Structure 1
Amino acid sequence: MKIQNSILYGILAFSILSCDSVEDKKGRFLLKGNEKLEENDPRSAIQLYQEALELDSAYADAWFNKAVAHVQLNQFGQAISDFSQAIYYRPDYSQAHFQRGLSYLDNGEFYNARSDADWMKKNDPENWEGHFLAGLVAEKFEEFDDALLHFQKASELDPDNSDLLVNQATIHYYLKDFDKAKDLLIQAESINPFEPNLHNLRSMIAFDEGNYQEALDAVDKAISFNNRQAYFYNNKGLYLLYLGKNEEGIDLINQSIQMDENNPYAYRNKGIYYVLEGDKISALQFLDELYQDYPEMDLVEEYFEKAQEL
């Protein structure tokens, strides 16, 4: 299983058009790029933002929006570079610091993400996003008490944000305090019942409590609200394995890998599938390496030992 640790809050910059000047032309490219991004065509958007930058290389909004498009393509290194350019030309660009911090997290650069969180807490202290980013970083370092404090501070600054409650619930899930996690999810649902991560986390709690059908129902609800998250399909595949629907399960796990090939939980689930199928060689192909690299991952040791016993 996998929990989404970072959320793209891509607030695109816009431009006011004037006469047919450089400002007008670059603004048109920016707006056309935004339209392509809204049409889920980030590659075309990048080309249009680049046209704007060729007219004005110091156009911070174009650098920012271009970075957002790279994030949509999971091109986090290029996104970080473009967010950095936006910050270079506009040092007080708080949203660029936030988005760059999220991209650093997704790129595994946790200390750099912490630097952006620290900048935001110092320079934009009333913005919940700085505390949210700091909480995400603390979560990556398994500093769970600090993560909770940051998420709670973010909630104080933005009490109607259901995501912040879900993140607090996630920390309590890690700490195996399922009752507290479920209470927070109820609060989050009262604010936004359509939040997919809420239902995904609820599914994971149900799975850990052995309620596999309940887990399946909850993750189906998550998928109905967002059908583009690879780890939702991976979690659903795992639940189907535990419900004895192996072929349906492996199809979804493979679909998840096609969507995101960097999720070790998906390869663990493939290993579980092959254990259930009695295929020792294939099972160990996945579980042996995971046992070496992620020995603390839930279910890895259990199914590695079962694979060896086949």
Structure 2
Amino acid sequence: MPQPLSLVTRAFARGPITRSTVIEPGGRVARTTWRTAAVLGLMTVLAACQSTSDGPAVTAIALDQNQGLDQNIASLTQTVSTNPRDPEALNVRGTAYGRAGKYDAAIQDFTTALQLDPNFYQAYANRALVYRQTNQPAKAVQDYSAALQINPNYDSAYIGRGNVYRVAGRNREALIDFQRAIDLNTTDPRAYHNRGLLYQIDGQHKQAIEDFSTAISLQATAPEPYSGRGVSYLALGDEENAFTDFNAALKLDDKKAEYWTNQALVYERKGDRGKALKSYSRAAQLDPKYQPAKDGMARTRGGA
């Protein structure tokens, strides 16, 4: 079974947190034998991206960190002190704790909110995300499922649970959850992006490109769908569209080693080993342990 993709876990921020939202806001497969070293490099990149785990180091709570400042938490604590039996106030403070990386405090607030209001399905989803952040996937699935039992039309919980399944390699179950969210007419780009990644794993690159394009149409400022779509374009031999997408991803976020490596692969396939080496080197500088970048440098250094 293919290993899970990690890219999608760099999720998209979805705005401020209220009772009706959750703190969850928020890769990359080739099955062909290629003839050039550059394309072999592509396969290496894809394999490396698939093998990354979604541990607590991954930024799943990708929201405004200012919301987690001590001053803001102090203000929320005052509100909770004034209304200690208000699950809404506890949920909001738990969200702030989660954004600030104070996960134990966040879990405690969400748990207390649920004790006060057992039907508070958003608090279940919020606690589930913190469990994901702290590498407790079984508890995360349990909470997402509880949220869905209360509200079967809660698209964010399907997407969140689908991500837990995906990183566990349970791709069939993940696909079902992402499809359910899409069937609910979700406007959350993560559903399409995640489904696109699963299509990509299965070698269904045309379908993957369609999903990545939909994700981009829903949130054009997220770099991940551009990178994902570029990988599928490159797997289909469409270097020009792949190059355009990789450059778009870099324009939005030039601190990701995989984006520079993807750009380098196109340069390498075009025979421009000098530019390829420069991009591989930048990737290795950003992440010295990123093997596809190191391999690319080894291939292109002599011809630069």
Q: TM-score range by the shorter chain?
A: 0.5 to 0.7
Check conservation: 2:131, 2:140, Cα contact below 8 A: yes
State the match for 1:115 in structure 2. 105
Alpha-carbon displacement from aligned partner over 1:86-125 (angstroms, at most 9, x marks no partner): 3133125234224314533xxxx3xx13421321112344
Answering whether residue 24 of structure 2 is matched by residue 10 of structure 1, we say: no
How far apart, CA to CA, are the structure 2 residues paired with 1:266 and 1:133?
Answer: 30
Which residue does the alignment assign to 1:64?
none
Q: How does 1:110-189 map to 2 (within 5 A)?
A: 112-125=102-115, 126=118, 127-189=120-182
What's the TM-score, normalizing by structure 1? Answer: 0.64
**Match of 1:3, as an amino acid?**
T
Output the TM-score relative to the length of structure 2: 0.65
Kept in 2, the 8 Å contact 1:182–1:202? The answer is: yes
Aligned with residue 259 of structure 2, among 263, 266, 270: 266
For 1:68, the equivalent position in structure 2 comes to none
RMSD: 3.1
Q: Which deviates more, 147-156 or 248-257?
A: 248-257
SS at match of 1:210: coil
- Offset of 1:204 from its aligned partner? 0.4
- Counterpart pick for 1:79 among 67, 70, 92: 67
Give 1:268 shift: 4.2
Instruction: Tell me the distance in 2 between the aligned counterparts of 1:269 and 1:189.
Output: 29
Identify which range, 266-275 or 161-170, moves more after superposition.
266-275
Q: Is the 8 A contact 1:94 1:120 kept in 2?
A: yes
Assess, with a 3 A threshold, how the Cα gap between structure 1 residues 267 and 128 changes in structure 2: closer, same or farther: farther
Deviates more, 1:171-180 or 1:199-208: 171-180
Is this contact kept in 2: 1:86–1:96, CA < 8 A? no
Cα deviation, residue 164, structure 1: 0.7
When Rg is computed on C-alpha atoms for both structures, the one with the higher figure is 1
1:1-310 maps to which residues of 2 (within 5 A)?
1-5=7-11, 7-8=13-14, 10=16, 76-81=64-69, 83-91=72-80, 92=84, 93-104=89-100, 109=101, 112-125=102-115, 126=118, 127-278=120-271, 279=273, 280-289=276-285, 292-293=288-289, 301-302=291-292, 304-310=294-300
Q: Normalized per residue, which structure has more helix? A: 1
The residue type paired with residue 165 of structure 1 is: Y
**Structure 2, gaps ≥5 residues long:** 1-6, 20-61
Shift of 1:210: 1.7
Contact preservation (8 Å) 2:277, 2:296: no
The gaps in structure 1 that reach 5 residues or longer are 14-73, 296-300
2:205 and 2:232 in contact (8 A); partners too:
yes
Q: 1:289 to 1:260 in 2, by over 3 A?
A: closer
Larger RCO (alpha carbons 8 Å, 6+ apart):
2
Deviation at 1:217, TM superposition (A): 0.9
Deviations 1:12-51 (A, max 9, x none): 79xxxxxxxxxxxxxxxxxxxxxxxxxxxxxxxxxxxxxx
Contact 1:178 1:205 survives alignment (8 Å): yes
Secondary structure of the 1:89 match is helix
Cα offset, 1:166, TM superposition:
1.4
- Matched residue SS, 2:8: coil
Report how many aligned residue pairs link the two structures: 238
User: What is the letter of the counterpart of residue 278 of structure 2?
Assistant: S
Deviations 1:187-218 (A, max 9, x none): 22232354321111111011111222221111
Opposite residue 245 of structure 2, the aligned amino acid is L
Code of the residue aligned with 2:169 in structure 1: it is K
Give the % identical residues: 12
Change (3 A) 1:145 1:75: closer
